[in-house]
Each structure stands twice: as structure tokens, then as C-alpha cells.
Structure 1
Amino acid sequence: MTQVSVMIAGHTYRMACAKGEESHLQTLARQIDERIETLRRNFGEIGDQRLIIMAAITFADDLAEAHRRIGDLEAKVADLRADSQGQTSARDEWADRLARSIGETATRIERVAQDLNNSAR
């Protein structure tokens, strides 16, 4: 584990993270700090604890919205897969009919050719 110091709302916090995750943790801390600062500009000095709670709620709301969108997208993907399978099935049926038709046509052509050969003799 690696130790990282991050600054959030004017306070320094020492945190542990997996090696190689330091930059990611610092980016997350910076996002939290920026959200708190945005709230501070919008609502004024209402106390760090309230600002931190409000930031947490807005992040939770963002997460809930992301989960909702993921669910919508997963449903669309499932619908598209079902449509694709239906189209694949229809295409396969069409290909089978076409193959049968070509086979029947080839048989007729062979009969006509045979009849022509027989009548030419």
C-alpha cells in the first residue's frame, strides 16, 4: 500500500491506496474538492460539514443517474440483440428458401437439357 496526501475543503487527508493508484485517488479528491467549492460559491459559508454532505448527496445523485442510464442502455442492448437474432433467423430462412429454389431450378434446367439431348438424337 502507498500513502497519498490529498486536500479536500482546505483539509489535508493522508490516505492509503494500491500502488499505481495514487494519481487516480488524487483526481478523485480534486473532484470532491471542486464540487465542495462550487457548492460554497452557490450557497456561501454554511459550514464544511454541510458542504461535504451536500457534495456527497450530489455525487450519490450522479451515481444513481449513471446506474439508471446503464440500466436503460442494457435494456436497449438486449432489445437490439433480440432484433438481431430475429433478423439472423429471417436471413437464414431466406437463404434456405433461396438455396432450395436454386436447387429446384438447377434440376429443371438439367431435365430440359436432357430432354433437348434426347430429342436431338
Structure 2
Amino acid sequence: MTQISVNIMGQAYTLACKEGEETALRQAVAYLDGKMCSIRDGGKVRGNDRIAVMAALGMAAEMLSARAPDGPMSGLTMAEVKQEITTMHEALDKALGPQEALF
């Protein structure tokens, strides 16, 4: 196992991966960082945990759309998939909103 140091939204992390997989892990980190920074910079979501959930949902929808051509997102255009993701984000904001007052 190899350890690499990365930054996600300015936070340092040390991650372990198998020998030879460092480049792939760095690419995954860069992709995640880009998604999370985009959500953060949009200004609608606060809190790193909520930003991470939103990024994960978006990435999961992308993956499911690509992997299952006959799945729940089949036949949708990319704009429609993005609208579905936006709808999920809004539902999460509504559900998680009351928790903001706890912190």
C-alpha cells in the first residue's frame, strides 16, 4: 500500500491505495474536489458534510446513467438528468434544512 497526500476543498487528507493506482486516485480526488467546490461556490449549500452528500448524489446519478442504459435515467437527455439532480438537491435541502439550526 502507498499513501498519498491530497487536498479536497482546501482540507488535507492522507489516503492509502495500491501500488500503481496513485494516478487514478489523484484523478478521482480532482474530480470530487471540482464537484464539491462547484457546489460550495454556488452558495446554496452550506456545510462540508452537506456539500459532500450533494456531490455524491450527483456523481452517483452520473454513474447510474452511464452504467444502466435501461435504468431509471434511461432515455433522458443530460439536461433532464441535471434537472433530476437539482430536484434531489432541493429535496435534500428541504429535509436537512432544520438541522442547520442545531449547529
TM normalised by structure 2 equals: 0.62
Percent identity, aligned pairs only, is 32
Which residues of 2 match residues 34-45 of structure 1 at below 5 A? Answer: 34-44=34-44
Aligned residue pairs total 71
Runs of 4+ more than 6 Å apart: none
Gaps of 5+ in 2: 72-103
User: Radius of gyration: which is bigger?
Assistant: 1
- CA displacement at 1:10 relative to structure 2: 1.4
Gaps of 5+ in 1: 73-121
Aligned to 1:23: 23
> Deviation string for 1:31-64 (max 9, x for gaps)?
0000001111223461111111100110111111
Q: Which amino acid aligns with 1:35?
A: K
Which residues of 2 match residues 1-121 of structure 1 at below 5 A? Answer: 1-44=1-44, 46-69=46-69
How well do the aligned residues superpose, as a CA RMSD in angstroms? 1.7
Higher helix residue share: 1
